[in-house]
Chain A
Amino acid sequence: MDTIGVQDFLIVSVLLFSVGFLGVVLRRNLLLVLMSLELMLNAVNVALVAFSRHSANMDGSLFVFFIMTVAAAEVSVGLALLVALYKKRQSVFSEHLTMLKN
């Protein structure tokens, strides 16, 4: 770890977060939106572990553990909601979700 420092990991984290953010904003398939949310959570995990390693503090790594737990719970509930939606509308595209319009 001579030349690669916390900045480089931060840049990778920002790039991953940006990719996930673009996916959330631009994609219409809700499955891919959920995947992009996972990408963003992963980017935050990278930044947390990098800071934790850099400052020799265990708290960041322990927080990653909790983020993983929350992400797993979120994905399972989100996919269950998506399946329930698909049963009702036969579609997972966000432009078809107009049940509240009329």
Chain B
Amino acid sequence: MNLSLVDFLFYVFSAISVGGGLAVILSRNPVTAAMFMILSLVGVASLFVLLEAFFLAVLQVLVYAGAVMVLFLFIIMLMDVGPDSGKGAKLSKKRILSGFIALLGVGLLTVLTLEYSGVATVATDSADHWQDVTEETSAAGANIVFSKSVKSFGYGLFTKYMLPLQVAGFLLLAAMVGVIVLSKKTDDVDAHNKADGPSPGTTNPQSEEA
């Protein structure tokens, strides 16, 4: 068996990502789970590198490992959750049943993928049915050929996927406003105390929104 470097790296990176994922769901302490999650995300980024999607790999490390997991760790340390004690509904009937059903679903998914993953190779044997990309065809929704460069990302995003890009931006804005509203101080008790406190003439600006 001739194991080339790319194959070896593929096995290493997939082992890192799947093993990191397993460690995430098996670890008792949320902080160690977050650390293994970062490992798994970096493994996925390396898989992106193997697939020659370099921009997505950089984005994966920046957005996930950089921003999302820092947010996770920040919240975990803010809450001071501590390790999962394991007491409580540890082995109730519902838990066993749900675990069994989950395993069944996982097995079904794996079997189906192993069965049908060969189908994908049949359809795309000839690469000549991709038409040439000009400005008109790609703006009209034609296929954009896979490319390593960041330029093609920008081109695709701002021609064919202009509307989804705007929707994504609006989604981020909505999420930002939602997070601000959710994490704002909503002290109902304090608002009431202020309302019948010593200064009844001043209106509380937060009570209108609450």
Contact = CB atoms under 8 A, between A and B. Distances in A.
Do A and B come together as binding partners? yes
A97 interface: no
Nearest to A13: B113
A21 B102 contact: yes
Contacts of A19: 18, 21-22, 24-25
B179 interface: yes
Interface residues of A, number: 73
A73 B41 CA distance: 17
Nearest to A17: B109
Contacts, number: 235
A62 B179 contact: no
Given A28-B89, A39-B37, 6 more contacts: A3-B4, A15-B14, A39-B24, A42-B17, A71-B68, A81-B182
Interface of B: 2, 4, 6-7, 10, 14, 17-18, 21-22, 24-25, 30, 33-34, 37, 40-41, 44, 47-48, 50-53, 56, 59-60, 63-64, 67-68, 71-72, 75-76, 78-79, 81, 84, 88-89, 95, 98-99, 101-103, 105-106, 109-110, 113-114, 117-118, 120-121, 124, 127, 130, 143-147, 152-153, 156-157, 160-161, 164, 168, 171-172, 174-176, 178-179, 182-183
Interface of A: 1-12, 14-23, 25-29, 31-32, 34-36, 38-39, 42, 45-46, 49-59, 61-62, 64-66, 68-77, 79-84, 86, 92-93, 95
